[in-house]
Structures are given as C-alpha cells and as structure tokens.
A and B are shown apart, each in its own frame.
Chain A
Amino acid sequence: MRILTIVKHVPDSNVPIKVRPDGTGIDTTGLKYVIDPFDEFGVELAVQLREKRGDVSEIIALTQGPEKAAETLRVALAMGADSAIHLSDPIFESFDELFYASVIAEAVTKQSTPFDLVLCGKHNIDLDAGAVGPALAEFLDLAHVGAVTNLEITPDGRRFTARRRIEGAEEVVEGALPALLTIEKGLVEPRYPSLPNLMKAKKKPLTVLTSKELPGSASHKASAQIAYVTPPPPRPECKFIEGEPAQMAHELVRFLRDEAKVL
C-alpha cells in the first residue's frame, strides 16, 4: 500500500497575525510557520498504519509552498514518511484552494505508481476553506470521505470503513481503495518528531518540482482572489453589572432598554 500525505506549511496559530497596512494580505515578517495541525494527523495516521499493518510499502509527504515549506516536509519525514515532494514555484502561490489542489493533482498524476490512500487534514488552519481534500479527490477522480474520525482498512488492503460525525449521528462510510480521506481532530495523536529522526530526515529523498515539471499549472488560473484583508474589529469593552441579584436584574433591564435599546 502506498500512502500520500499532503502537508501544508502554515502560520503558527499561537502567534498573533497582523494585517499589512495596505490590506493586501498578512504581514509575514518574522511569522513562525508550522506543519498544519490537521495535515499532521494525516502523517501520523499513515505512520500508524505502517506500524499496525505489514503492507504499507511507502509513505510520501507532499507540500506546496515556498522554499521554507521544506521545513514542514522535514517534520513529516522525521515523523516517519519515506520521501517527500516539494512543489515550489512563485506561480503556485495562491490563496485559492482550488488552484492549490489542481497543482497538487498534476504532480500526483505524474507519479509513476499510483497511491492507494491519499490523506490530508479536513481543512487547513490558514485559509480554512476546507476545499483541498474534496477538490483534490475530484481532480484525481478518487472516492472521498471528509472529516474522518475513525478508520478501518480490511486486511487485504482493498476496502475501508470510515466513520464521521454528522449533526446528531455518526455516519459509517464503506468504500474501495484507492480513496482520499480528510482527517478530523481526535483520530490520532501526532507524535513528536524525535531529534535523531529530525537529523536523519535530512538524508531522506526530497524532490522539488517547479512549473517546468508541472507545465499545466500555468494554464490553470486561480479562479478566486483575495480582494483585501482587514483585521477583526476590536472586541468591545465588557460591561459588568454588580450588586444584589434583584438590583442586577433591574440594572440589566434598564441597560437593555435605555442604552442598548434592544427592548
């Protein structure tokens, strides 16, 4: 079984994001980037499948992003991927997830051996559009199950049973491999890449592909563009009402009627 895991290099959600003064995007100076935490579930799942089953022959991690995105691939390699593919070209840079997926799809179709399982996060924490998985499945003509919370694969490696949470129930989806699954939080707990493995990851094969190898990317065009970005409005000041319960209720009603004017 060959597994492809898509990983994205995204800004660390622990670091506050600043919008550029001209509104053309976010200020990336000094911004810290990490492997997308949802994509990271995909890498962990792939590695766990290999540890549990005897038939996982290869795990390949793929990222699309600037030169620095190689750091994210190295995390995936340190976690247990065997090799990595880095799609890196200024013309690949886009905020449009459909375009992002189309470039990845072109790279995947050029691989000599097909994949049995393609894994990615249910969404990425940067654009949060959730389109990469479904779009990639569509481009690759693969079955797709989104936001998987539990996965079983038959011993012969031909069929899978995936569970996903839907409003008020759990959906059980059965299907044949190859397939593309997007992973929900909680399916697996990602391991820390160990320091020896981080060093060994440098010696694992990493292929860089540009628009020269992926000429189709020039003909796809990003169908959506970000017009402008604004910071969220500052949080309005919180008003505390103090006193005895009866007094507080009286004050609340007065406030809602006279000041907020909602009553």
Chain B
Amino acid sequence: MPDSKTPDFYHIDSLLSNDERQVRDTVARFVDDRVLPIIAECFEHERFPTELIPEMAELGLFGPTLQDYGCAGLNNVAYGLIMQELERGDSGVRSFASVQSGLVMYPIHTYGSDEQKKRWLPEMARARKIGCFGLTEPDGGSDPGTMKTRAEKKGSDWVLNGAKMWITSGSIADVAVVWAMTEHGVRGFLLEKGTPGFTSRDIPHKFSLRASVTSELFFDNCRLPESSRLPTAEGLGAPLSCLTQARYGIAWGGVGAAMACYREALEFCRNRVLFGSPLINKQHMQIRLADMVRRITTGQLLALQLGRLKDQGEMHHTQVSLAKWNNVRLGLDIAREARDILGAGGISVECCPVRHMLNLESVITYEGTETIHQLVVGREITGVAAF
C-alpha cells in the first residue's frame, strides 16, 4: 500500500482520467503551498484570505465546468476533485469557490439572458466580480417556499423588500443572486452592490467558517429593472437546482476535510510515544485509524460515482442529498475523532482537526441540513414526504 499523500485504499486514483488527476494535483499543490501556510492564522483572527482570490482565479477555479467565457470546461469529477482539495485546505475557502461557481455563475449561465452572461461570467471567472447567493432568511432556511422577501412589479421595474441571512461572501460581493416571492411565485434577481436600499452586514462571533465572510443582506425598496431578473428562473426549482450544484461539490469537500484530519492523526500516532511505544502500535489506535480509512474510502467511492452519474446526465438530486449527508457526516465524525486522538494539542488551531471540526458544524447545517437530506432520501424511498 503506497503511503501516498491521500489515503487511497481502493486505488481510486486509477479510476480517474489523466485530466482529472492533473487537475487534482494542480489544485492540491496550490492548497499545500498557498492555503495551508496561512489558514490557521486566518481562522484564528476571523479573516477571509482575500489575497488568494486573484490566484484562485488565475488557476481557473471559478466556473471551471463552463465551456466558454474563459473557463476550463472540465467535467464534474474534476470539479469535485477541486472541491475536495480546497476543503482539504479549509471549508471557508471551498465555500467561497462553491458560491462563486455553483451558486452564482451556474444560475447566471443556466437562467440568465445572453446579456447577463456576457456581462458577468467572464468577470466572475477572473474574480474581478464576486458573487453571493441569497435564499436563506433570518426566520429559517429549510422551508424556502415560505420566504418573506418580496418583489413587486411597479411599472416596468421591480421593487424588492426583505432580508437574507447566512450569506457567504455577502458583504464583499459585487452582485447578489436574490430569490424573492412574486405574485407568480419565486423569481431570481441580480442585485448589484450600490443599488439604493441594498445594504449588508457581516455576522460576527462565529465559531465556524472563520476564514470566510458570512453576512446578512437587507433590501429596503430596492428598485430593479426587468433586465436584472433571471429570465428563465421560474419557481423554487431554480434556486434548488443551484443548491444541487453546490451540494454536489460539498459531497467531495467533506472527504477532503476528512483526509486532512486522518493524515494529521496518523502522523501524530506514528510519533507520539505513550507507555513506551508509539501510538500506532496500540490496537485501540489502529482500529480508530482503520475506521477513518473505511469511512473515507466509502465517501471517495460515493463521490466518484455521483460525479460519473452527473457527467452522464443521470444524477438525481436525491443522490446528491445522500452524498452530502454521508460525506459531511463522515468528515465531521473523523474531525472530532482526530481532534480527540491528538490529545491536548488537538485543541490548538495549529492542528487542523479542530478547525475542520468547527467548520463542518456549518457545512452539516448549510445547503440543506443533515436532517433535511435524510428526509429527502426517506421521501424518495417511501414516496411519502415527512418534512
């Protein structure tokens, strides 16, 4: 068994194409060289490393599956591997990329007008413009059909009122994809920074995703022209389809965080001597490490097959729910386990498991809570919605 950088117990590497492997290795190197050296300090001081944004854009990490607009045109497995590697660095960094690609560029590309695409996509691929996605509201996120944000038609314009909460990149975004209820149901709008009545405020005192900007958005009679509406986004299905994209990436990300924690725990067990011999010699520790590899391996295979289904156009959103649930859960459990194995030192931000553990508390909640995903799978197999 090669003791490679990643646990690859089932030689999953051999199931990847050269393209996919090369994309992964390129992003892995970026994460090792640029993210890992600074991320603990960012987390500790609640700072989003904006200096990484131009470099990530230069690498082509935003909208990488799009075929044009200066994007790489990668397949979905390669996209997943990018998310895995970014989250091996930090969930906050991965969240930023997920939002820019899956929650902003994707809806503009899928539901936008040609004019909207031409205006925003090239700029967003180069990260000259940053985006955010406003669906969740202060009163909750699991039942978006009851959203209170309203858009009313006044003449040829729309007037937007309401608020959104827990919005990644909210205050640094140049444009927000805002979902609002209209008399015809849910519609999506591109709301630009600086629009009169549009304000944002960062949410402080987070113990999770500290290397990421999380904000509230407020809309007080914001006037928008019809041209800022996403013309083909009709109904709740549109924002949910965006979430399917982002959740797909998160399913890979959970594995990335788990791999980082496993590796640190393994290294620690090799070096830490207790009662006369290294911890790896103890049955108890071997079982715990073996169990991490078991869970990571199942998560890797799940994510890969999900990606292959997505590339064949056969992926169902309930499969994404199962993968997001399984892989974030395994990430969180392994992070907690690794934190414990590391002993007292494991509570320091110098060790990655505690940071991943705290981050994954958000990841398991956002983009559909674990419970919602369980119930989505439950509805799929029973035919009964039990929300």
Listed in ascending order, the chain A residues whose CB lies under 8 Å from chain B are: 12, 14-16, 18, 29-32, 34, 71, 74-75, 192-199, 202
Using A16-B3, A29-B2, A198-B72 as known contacts, say yes or no to A34 and B23 having CB atoms under 8 A apart. no
Picked from A34, A196, A199, the residue with its CB within 8 Å of the CB of B19 is: A199
Q: Which of A32, A75, A193, A202 counts the most chain B CB atoms within 10 A? A: A32
Complex CA gap A115/B25 in Å reads 32
Residues of A within 8 A of B38 (CB): none
Complex CA gap A29/B29 in Å reads 22
Listed in ascending order, the chain B residues whose CB lies under 8 Å from chain A are: 1-5, 8, 11, 13, 18-19, 21-23, 25-27, 29-30, 55, 58-61, 64, 70-74, 78, 82
Q: Do A195 and B3 have beta carbons less than 8 Å apart?
A: no
Q: Do A14 and B60 have beta carbons less than 8 Å apart?
A: no
Q: Do B64 and A31 have beta carbons less than 8 Å apart?
A: no
Residues of B within 8 A of A195 (CB): 23, 26-27, 59-61, 64, 72, 74, 78, 82
Residues of A within 8 A of B22 (CB): 71, 74-75, 198
Complex CA gap A222/B13 in Å reads 34
Minimum CB–CB distance from A74 to chain B (whole Å) comes to: 7
Minimum CB–CB distance from B122 to chain A (whole Å) comes to: 12
Complex CA gap A237/B46 in Å reads 41
Picked from A30, A199, A202, the residue with its CB within 8 Å of the CB of B2 is: A30
Residues of B within 8 A of A14 (CB): 5
Q: Do B59 and A71 have beta carbons less than 8 Å apart?
A: no
Name the residue of chain B whose CB is nearest to the CB of A198: B22
Name the residue of chain A whose CB is nearest to the CB of B21: A71
Residues of B within 8 A of A75 (CB): 22
Q: Do B74 and A192 have beta carbons less than 8 Å apart?
A: no
Residues of B within 8 A of A30 (CB): 1-2, 4, 8, 11, 13
Minimum CB–CB distance from A41 to chain B (whole Å) comes to: 15
Name the residue of chain B whose CB is nearest to the CB of A28: B2
Residues of B within 8 A of A12 (CB): 5
Q: Do B26 and A198 have beta carbons less than 8 Å apart?
A: yes
Q: Do A15 and B60 have beta carbons less than 8 Å apart?
A: no
Q: Do A196 and B26 have beta carbons less than 8 Å apart?
A: no
Complex CA gap A34/B28 in Å reads 12
Given A15-B4, A196-B72, 8 extra CB contacts under 8 A: A18-B2, A30-B8, A32-B4, A192-B30, A194-B60, A195-B60, A196-B71, A198-B19
Residues of A within 8 A of B27 (CB): 195
Q: Do A192 and B11 have beta carbons less than 8 Å apart?
A: no
Could you pull out 30 A-B pairs where Cβ atoms are within 8 angstroms?
A: A15-B3, A15-B4, A16-B3, A18-B2, A30-B2, A30-B4, A30-B8, A30-B11, A31-B2, A32-B5, A34-B25, A71-B22, A74-B18, A74-B22, A75-B22, A192-B26, A192-B29, A194-B59, A195-B27, A195-B59, A195-B60, A195-B72, A196-B70, A196-B73, A197-B60, A198-B22, A198-B23, A198-B26, A198-B72, A199-B73
